[in-house]
Amino acid sequence: MRLTRRQYLAASAAAAALPAAARAATPGTLARPGDFAATDIAYLDNGSQHPMPLVGKAAVDAYLAKRTLDPAAQSYSLDDEGPRAAFATLINADADEIAWVQSTTAGEQMVLRALDLPASGGHIVTDTLHFFGSIPLYEEMARQGCEVTWLRPVDGRIRIEDMRRAVRKGTKLVALSLVSTVNGFEHDLKAVCDIAHAAGALVYADIIHAAGAVPVDVKASGVDFAACATYKWLMGDFGLGFLYVRRDVLPRLKRANYGYYGIGDFATHVYPLDPPGATIANYAFSKDASGAFALGTHAHAVIAQLGATLPYIAALGVPAIQRHAQELTDRLKRELPKRGYTLMTPPEARTPIVTCVLEKARDRLAAPMAAAKVRLTVSANRFRLTPSVQNGHADIDRFLAALPKA
């Protein structure tokens, strides 16, 4: 059965309105009994890839049943508007300001092309707490004619006074991660946007570590662009993401995409029985984010999955998700320094990320964490824990018991 957008949003709202007793969590976690598959792993790596809740698996199974021509599933119809509308609601956008994209990085690079960068030149401000995969992108912008200013953190924070000094007349773009994948620092996005807009600049925010984990309000912040893949806090999978483009910015952008999925009107004049015309086809692109940025086919299995996981997130409520994770991260921030570890994460951060410096972290943590069946992000000289709704203090206990001395 295909839900209309109105039915989809009504169902999401009804789920979110369930009384607390009806959504009672397993002791110590926010997730309800049966929300996730049972596991013997203390999975504290949700910021790398979030486990799929079972409602998401069921949605994918229903989609695959249709794709395998299961006779019992032939009434199934994929709804790609519902998840787009649900994501828009999650970040306080309008659905026509959202386009499907392949990934966060794809969305960021589309924004640069729409701003005619690097060809048009100009000044870009970014920072070293932005996604490390974007470092080559802005280094390339510098090599190809843009002036790029890199802000560096002080005590794990990008200071607003440094942002104010860096942004000036001639700045074209400020690019940042709203929540840093490196250490969980969260920008004051409204303050950054106010500074940028006063200088005539636009702001792009990578929100992959924010959407679904902390409250995001694109209208209140004034951010111009935001992109987000779905495999982290949206509990989706790889190969699909969202790009937000503020409606009144669209007319200022150069068209750099000519995708079929961006076409609003299309009439050909070359096939049998077509009406005659002076051109091969008459067409017009939609005057919205999809019209400017949509390309070809999307990952339908992920759309099906998001049709279940986004209402699940809405039912739990992002403020509740944030509070639950913060209870666990606050404990980590207290315990790790006592054990001799140096935090990279600011103590006041309200994001579900705690990062510590540890020389040769992989050599020192791989064996004890594997033996304890604890999963976290371990880099060359740091480690990161990213608890979510299915985690509780028992997972933190297991991690701390397995952690060697600093």
Q: What is the pLDDT of residues 210-225, one digit of tens each?
A: 999 999 999 999 999 9
Give me the numbers of helices (H) and strands (E) for the chain, helices first please: 13, 15
Predicted confidence (pLDDT) at residue 10 exceeds the cutoff of 60 = no
Give the chain's mean pLDDT: 93
CA distances from 82 to 50, 127, 129, 262 (A): 21, 35, 33, 18
The answer to whether the beta carbons of residues 281 and 269 sit under 8 Å apart is yes
pLDDT recorded at residue 28: 87
Q: Is 94 exposed, middle or buried (0-12, 13-18, 19+ CB in 10 A)?
A: middle
Question: Does 275 or 11 have the greater pLDDT score?
Answer: 275
For residue 260, the tally of other CB atoms under 10 A from its CB is: 11
Compute the half-sphere exposure of residue 343: CA atoms within 13 Å on the CB side of its CA: 24
pLDDT of 63 reads 97
Instruction: Determine the Cα–Cα distance for residues 383 and 354; give it in Å rounded to an integer.
Output: 8
Split at pLDDT 50, 70, 90, the class of 374 is very high
Q: What is the pLDDT of residue 27?
A: 62
Measured between alpha carbons, how far is 1 from 3 in angstroms, rounded to an integer? Answer: 6
Report the phi/psi class of residue 142: left, alpha or beta, with left for phi > 0 and alpha for psi in -120 to 50.
alpha
Mutual orientation of helices 81-90 and 5-16 as an angle, nearest 10°? Answer: 50
Please determine, for residue 2, whether its predicted confidence score (pLDDT) is greater than 60.
Answer: no
E-only strand ranges, 105-201: 123-127, 147-151, 171-177
User: Torsion over CA of 356, 358, 362 and 367, rounded to 10 degrees?
Assistant: -90
Distance CA 283, CA 72 (A): 38
- The model's pLDDT over 169-214, given as tens digits with 9 standing for 90+, comes to 999 999 999 999 999 999 999 999 999 999 999 999 999 999 999 9
Query: Could you give the 3-state DSSP secondary structure of residue 279?
Result: coil
- Inform me whether the pLDDT recorded for 404 exceeds 80: yes
Please, which residues have CB within 8 angstroms of residue 301's CB and are 6 or more apart in sequence?
Answer: 60, 63, 64, 237
Three-state secondary structure of 375-390 = ECEECCCEEEEECCCC
Residue 6 pLDDT greater than 60, yes or no: no
DSSP 329: H
Checking if the pLDDT of 345 tops 80, the result is yes
What average pLDDT does range 130-158 have in this prediction?
97
